Structure 1
Amino acid sequence: MKFPVKNELLKRLFAAQGEPVSGQDIADEFGLSRTAIWKYIKELEEEGYEIGSMRKKGYYLIKAPDLVNAANISTYLETERYGRHIHYFSTCPTTQTIAHEEAQGGAADGTLIISEEQTAGKGRLARPWTSNAGRGIWMSLIIRPRLAPQQAPQLTLVAAVAIVRAIEDVAEIQPVIKWPNDILLNGKKVTGILTELQADPDRVKAIILGIGLNANQESEDFPDELQSIATSLKIEKGEHIDRAKLVAKILHYLEHYTALYIEKGFAPIKLLWESYATITGKRITARMVNETVEGTALGISSEGMLELKLDDGTVRGIYSADIEIKN
């Protein structure tokens, strides 16, 4: 959903950093009345924005709510397509299901589904994902790249690179990537990526890229069984994270690296991914559906598979597995 005038008004209020923004100038620019601008201001106030006014000077932003709504995200957005259509929910079972429905209905490339809370969040292999209200980033992005279906799994690795770059920029901390779809801080999981596909036999119709990112949780927000393996950016950084700014930065890098992947292939993504990876040279256990193998991780192949050197010297390409790092 796009609200260009209201979003532009909010963007200017943010950019002014407490200085007044002329409602008359915006009204003239968009061919609207001063009353129409006043109504937008009232809508923003109803959404939780605290806005003051100065006679003959305009409106100024006092305080913004900590929401990942279209208005807040659009304030920071740098993309051409990704995030230019946003469906925002205060709560939903899972953004991934909504995104599938929207994609089947013809939603545009880059459409974002995002919620403050998920009541039935899921990760890889349909495992439950704790999605605290107002604490994390729970989102699904609809991507429509010109790819063959067998290339779709590489988008998980593209997404991992994009998310790590965004966390570096916004939180100024250094995460690492654990194959195939986890991002870690100090050995604990901070982000999971779920890539699902809508496709014909010969072409991708849509990739639904689900991202669950722990942003502002405290330790006690995690269930007891997760406290030793999960963390948040706030726990590791010691500071509150602007979630809307981080979402916009993730979308920026996703658009950039997806375009790079489509234009240049997987090779440049592979180099970036390996520079952030934790597994190369490590001894790992890989648990697949029908077997478990151990060996030394060599990195990833040109197709994005994990390459594992087994104890007998053979190299095994692993497409999908749960891995445990031994050293």
Structure 2
Amino acid sequence: MALKVQSDIRKKLLDAFAEAEGGFLSGQALANLIGCSRTAVWKHIEGLRGDGFVVESVKRRGYRLAGTPSALTADEIRLGLKTRFIGQSILYRETVDSTQKLALALAQEKAPEGTLIVADEQTAGRGRMDRKWHSPKGTGIWMSLLLRPEIPPQQAPQLTLLAAVAVARAIEEAAGITPEIKWPNDLLVNGKKITGILTELQAESDRIHSVIIGIGMNVNQKRGDFPEDLNEIATSILEETGNEASRPMVIREFCAHFEKLYLLYLEKGFYPIKLLWESYAKGIGGRIRARTYNGILEGRALGITDDGVLELEDSTGKIHLIYSADIDFPLS
């Protein structure tokens, strides 16, 4: 309980500094805002300083947040995060085998909806079909989001498409580039992969216990940081813009956009999300190859249904519904 109280005080302190937008706040004003003593404020400010935050102190003016750590931390993600529940509970680890694995354990421990698990490095990151996901230290965003939506289990894949739109919008806001979405779970820039999404479901036949959305985003990798087999197919924000991006800021943008879309989805259903997804979609209208569990299909991608299922029209005019596949395009 004591640790939770300390965490709440630190969060309120960071929120106060974010609202001040670089201005000074007196020790008494902070104490009043947070609901603690001035001595407690001072102790938590010293804690922030110890974690790499630059907090200036000027007599008769108070405290001002003048700089944040260069490393990715939960506190820096929280700084300026304006959501109701997405990302309000954050578990950060410097190194994990997989954020998905850690998120599943937290889901079983009844962690609240919106809990975000973030790592600076994954040693066993994975994508769809248990493919390895390269997750080096200090370069990308490796995170998993825990949800508990009251929707039928068969609708859970729609959340992958929703997350893709939220990621696309976050990258637009943070870096000024517009990714394209490749159904069902990849985001591309100039034809190269910048983000992958993995959605995993824990459910009974008629009830969802939890949905865990894993996101791997290439942010500040240089070409030489990718393994040789990925050099020609992967990219990053740094590679595309020439500028490093703030990983905490990208995460905050994602959380804000995801929460807005998620609440819209729970109220209005998938259709408004579908329209947004189509505005970023790549390959729709062109010829594609779909590698499914049951074989390979080729034809024209017509779009997605109101349930988020890909429609493919083959050479005979037959329309196939694709629920899961690897997609290749364009085909001549």
TM-score (norm. length: structure 2):
0.94
Which digits, 9 at most, give the CA deviation of each residue in 1:21-61, with x for residues without a partner?
A: 32222123334232211211111122112223212222223
Match of 1:241 among 235, 242, 245: 245
Q: Which amino acid aligns with 1:50?
A: V
- What is residue 21 of structure 1 aligned with on the other side? 25
Does 2:305 match 1:301? yes
After superposition, residues 224-239 of structure 1 pair within 5 angstroms as: 224-239=228-243
- What is residue 91 of structure 1 aligned with on the other side? 95
- What is residue 11 of structure 2 aligned with on the other side? 7
- What is residue 292 of structure 1 aligned with on the other side? 296
After superposition, residues 31-180 of structure 1 pair within 5 angstroms as: 31-180=35-184
Once the 2 structures are TM-superposed, how far is the Cα of residue 148 of structure 1 from its aligned partner?
Answer: 0.8
Where 1:48 maps in the other structure, the secondary structure is: coil
CA contact (8 A) 2:18 2:80 kept: no
Once the 2 structures are TM-superposed, how far is the Cα of residue 128 of structure 1 from its aligned partner?
Answer: 0.7
Does 2:330 match 1:316? no
Using the TM superposition, name which of 175-184 and 235-244 deviates more: 235-244
CA contact (8 A) 1:116 1:136 kept: yes
Where 1:145 maps in the other structure, the secondary structure is: coil
Where 1:184 maps in the other structure, the secondary structure is: strand
Once the 2 structures are TM-superposed, how far is the Cα of residue 130 of structure 1 from its aligned partner?
Answer: 0.9
Where 1:246 maps in the other structure, the secondary structure is: helix
Once the 2 structures are TM-superposed, how far is the Cα of residue 167 of structure 1 from its aligned partner?
Answer: 1.4
Q: Which amino acid aligns with 1:97?
A: K
Using the TM superposition, name which of 96-105 and 40-49 deviates more: 40-49
- What is residue 216 of structure 1 aligned with on the other side? 220
- Within 2, Cα distance between the matches of 1:168 and 1:210? 20
Q: Which amino acid aligns with 1:132?
A: P
- What is residue 208 of structure 2 aligned with on the other side? 204
Which digits, 9 at most, give the CA deviation of each residue in 1:283-314, with x for residues without a partner?
A: 11111123111111111112211111101111
Pairwise CA RMSD: 1.6
- Within 2, Cα distance between the matches of 1:171 and 1:8? 28
Q: Which amino acid aligns with 2:229?
A: E
Once the 2 structures are TM-superposed, how far is the Cα of residue 14 of structure 1 from its aligned partner?
Answer: 4.6
Aligned length: 327
Once the 2 structures are TM-superposed, how far is the Cα of residue 201 of structure 1 from its aligned partner?
Answer: 1.1
- Within 1, Cα distance between the matches of 2:35 and 2:302? 61
Once the 2 structures are TM-superposed, how far is the Cα of residue 101 of structure 1 from its aligned partner?
Answer: 0.6
- Within 2, Cα distance between the matches of 1:202 and 1:19? 52
- Within 1, Cα distance between the matches of 2:85 and 2:18? 22
Q: Which amino acid aligns with 1:234?
A: L
CA contact (8 A) 2:288 2:330 kept: yes
- Within 1, Cα distance between the matches of 2:137 and 2:58? 35
Does 2:30 match 1:30? no
Does 2:301 match 1:268? no
Using the TM superposition, name which of 176-185 and 306-315 deviates more: 306-315
Does 2:281 match 1:277? yes
Q: Which amino acid aligns with 2:320?
A: R
Structure 1 residues 192, 147: CA separation in 2 closer, same or farther (over 3 Å shift)?
same
Using the TM superposition, name which of 169-178 and 56-65 deviates more: 56-65
CA contact (8 A) 1:76 1:244 kept: no
CA contact (8 A) 2:14 2:80 kept: no
Which digits, 9 at most, give the CA deviation of each residue in 1:76-120, with x for residues without a partner?
A: 212111111111111111110010011111111111111111111
CA contact (8 A) 2:117 2:143 kept: yes
Segments ≥4 residues shifted beyond 6 Å: none
- Within 1, Cα distance between the matches of 2:266 and 2:108? 23
- Within 2, Cα distance between the matches of 1:276 and 1:24? 48
Once the 2 structures are TM-superposed, how far is the Cα of residue 145 of structure 1 from its aligned partner?
Answer: 0.6
Q: Which amino acid aligns with 1:165?
A: R
- Within 2, Cα distance between the matches of 1:252 and 1:102? 22
Once the 2 structures are TM-superposed, how far is the Cα of residue 15 of structure 1 from its aligned partner?
Answer: 5.0
Where 1:76 maps in the other structure, the secondary structure is: coil
Q: Unmatched 5+ residue regions in structure 1?
A: none
Q: Which amino acid aligns with 2:54?
A: E
Match of 2:257 among 248, 253, 260: 253
Q: Unmatched 5+ residue regions in structure 2?
A: none
CA contact (8 A) 2:198 2:215 kept: yes
